């Protein structure tokens, strides 16, 4: 179950990252872009750690 949850967090992180990048480029709002990139990166790393522990 932990591996599945980890893969889900990785997927969500990979979805949030380009959304944050495109939002920052199109709206010229660097603060929100950095926040979304940080959240996406954190979710991806959390998912990577969770899926790695399960193996």
Angle between helix 30-54 and 2-27 (nearest 10): 170
Report pLDDT for 13.
Answer: 95
The pTM (predicted TM-score) of the whole model is 0.85
Look at residue 29 and give its three-state secondary structure.
coil
Q: What CA–CA distance (Å, rounded) separates 10 from 53?
A: 14
Tens-place pLDDT, residues 2-55: 889 999 999 999 999 999 999 988 999 999 999 999 999 999 999 999 998 756
Report pLDDT for 1.
Answer: 76
Report pLDDT for 12.
Answer: 95
* Domains: count for the chain: 1
């Amino acid at each position: 179950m932990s591996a599945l949850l980890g893969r889900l967090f990785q997927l969500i992180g990979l979805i949030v990252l380009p959304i944050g990048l495109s939002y920052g480029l199109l709206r010229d709002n660097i603060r929100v872009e950095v926040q979304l990139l940080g959240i996406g990166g954190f979710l991806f790393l959390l998912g990577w750690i969770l899926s790695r522990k399960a193996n």
